[in-house]
Chains A and B, each alone.
Chain A
Amino acid sequence: MQTLRRTPLYDRHVALGARLVPFAGWEMPVQYEGVIPEHIAVRTDAGVFDVSHMGELEVEGPTARELLQSTLSNDVDRLDPGDAQYTLLTTETGGIVDDLIVYRLDGHRYLLVVNASNREAAFRWLRERELRGSDVRDVSDDYALLAVQGPRALERIGVAPGKPFTWEMGELGGVEVMINRTGYTGEEGVELACMEDEAGALWDSIIAAGVTPCGLGARDTLRLEMCYPLHGNDIGPQWDAISSGLGWACALDTEFTGAERLRAIKAEGPAEKLVPLRMTDRAIPRQGMPVEGGGEVTSGTHSPMLDVGIALGYLPSERATVGTSVTIDVRGKPRGAQVVRKPFYTREEKS
């Protein structure tokens, strides 16, 4: 029996009546009031997620840049201190060890925020490739991470708007925070990193500002409406980054693990592609459901905003084009779906 880890906010989740579930070795809130009201809070106002289970790795030293440029798919050289970038840790075959955000802290120091389930794998991967003059440390236990997301998120917590994929230091509720202009919901917002022992004070100040506590359930429906892939579901070592639709996060003019293979796949065209599928019949697609004629659903749910079943899944490339109709095997029943454009959900323009 594995002992589940708890974030510094565990007692607060319990006090708020959260339903707690095991996730990547952690006991995490999946919902408080309910997935749908929490989802709607983030789309229309503001929500806060405890994502302290995510891993933080620090890479430091005169060769830190070189190490990251040779292991991460995106171009680290585009980052000045204060910048952030979505990137992939890739295998020799172009598969994905993890997808992560790299923050350039200063000249020779970078912070990598990795998936909870890949924290050890990503750390080991980088440690094994460490260069003379680069030091990789797992600093996950030092930090808590709170995502505050939604059209009114910044206004509620008193943070001025900023440029996406940048970070700055600031103070919120008397707590020193790293304010990251990133997120996983498609809404405006920030991800706030603070010292582990100050997470309670930061959380309390955000809740006091009228931000709705949200669980991993809403985090999943929100990211799926945006077609953001989830590592372990939609992306992983078994699929190359081009097939997974993440060629945009691969600087193929740089040299990194798997770059050569990815250039070849891009030139030949991948055999299958990850695409958004929207149900045309009434049904909810789920992970693992086969698609008639080849392919498989890798994530699926009911979209609270569109009130329809939505999924991400791999299809043979010749059928992975917008408008193609497919049939998904929903526990033995054939149900129609259509390949659509990303994302499923776009906010109506503010009037």
Chain B
Amino acid sequence: MAAGESYPDDLSYHPEHDWARLEGDEAVLGVTWYAQDSLGELVHYEPPDEGTSVAKDESYGEVESVKAVSDLISPLSGEVLEVNQKVVDAPETVNEDPYGEGWLIRIRMTNPAEREQLLDAAAYRKLLEEA
């Protein structure tokens, strides 16, 4: 079952429809409800390798639905600590729970100041309304 539309207040958002949950010097990344709804049911997740670097505003992987491929844009720079293997095995987890079980990677931030450039939930919702 697909989740209902929501944009939790405790997350930070990137305009390319990605979210970050900041936890000390680490962050958990994923895609927003809007992103998964636009793509449809996900059938493939191409993750980065653990230990590699990701850069803010750049692609760190891909998700695919039956019809479309979408780059995953990193909201922050960092080193990949962990890939969510559950999503590799069952990509539809992202549709079911985009902010919980459907997280994509955990990183250690290399430039924590970048967080200041992200949107809060209200600003992200506004961006969606204007799109």
Contact = CB atoms under 8 A, between A and B. Distances in A.
Interface in A165-224: 217, 221
A302 B64 contact: yes
B65 interface: yes
Interface string A320-333: 00000000000101
Given A35-B41, A282-B44, A284-B43, A304 B67 contact: no
Contacts of A307: 43
Interface string B55-76: 0000000101111010000000
A31 B40 contact: yes
A34 interface: yes
B70 to A, nearest CB: 12
A302 B40 contact: no
A30 B69 CA distance: 16
A197 B99 CA distance: 47
B44 A301 contact: no
A345 B2 CA distance: 26
A217 B41 contact: no
Contact of B44 (A302, A304, A333): A302
Contacts of B46: 283, 333
Given A36-B41, A282-B44, A284-B43, A302 B69 contact: no
Interface in B24-56: 40-41, 43-44, 46
A221 B44 contact: no
A286 interface: yes
Contact of A35 (B62, B64, B66, B88): B66
Contacts of A309: 44
B85 to A, nearest CB: 12
Contacts of A301: 66-67
A283 B44 contact: yes
Interface in A260-309: 282-284, 286, 301-302, 304, 307, 309
A333 B49 CA distance: 13
A12 B80 CA distance: 47
Contacts of B64: 284, 302
A30 B38 CA distance: 13
A283 B65 CA distance: 11
A301 B67 CA distance: 7
A310 B41 CA distance: 17
Nearest to B66: A35
Contacts of A331: 62, 69
Contact of B67 (A35, A282, A283, A333): A35
A284 B44 contact: yes
Nearest to B62: A331
B3 to A, nearest CB: 14
Nearest to A335: B46
Contacts of B67: 30, 35, 217, 301
A286 B68 CA distance: 9
B93 to A, nearest CB: 14
B60 to A, nearest CB: 14
Contacts of B44: 282-284, 302, 309
A34 B40 contact: yes
Interface string A213-244: 00001000100000000000000000000000
Contacts of A36: 40-41, 43, 66
Contact of A304 (B66, B69, B88): B66
Nearest to A330: B46
A35 B69 contact: no
A214 to B, nearest CB: 13
Contact of A221 (B62, B66, B69, B88): B66
Given A284-B44, A304-B66, 4 more contacts: A31-B40, A36-B66, A302-B66, A307-B43
The 10 closest A-B pairs by CB, nearest first: A302-B43, A35-B66, A36-B41, A284-B64, A284-B44, A302-B66, A217-B67, A34-B41, A34-B40, A301-B66
Interface of A: 30-31, 34-36, 217, 221, 282-284, 286, 301-302, 304, 307, 309, 331, 333
15 contacts: A34-B40, A34-B41, A35-B41, A35-B66, A36-B41, A36-B66, A217-B67, A282-B44, A284-B64, A286-B69, A301-B66, A304-B66, A307-B43, A309-B44, A333-B46
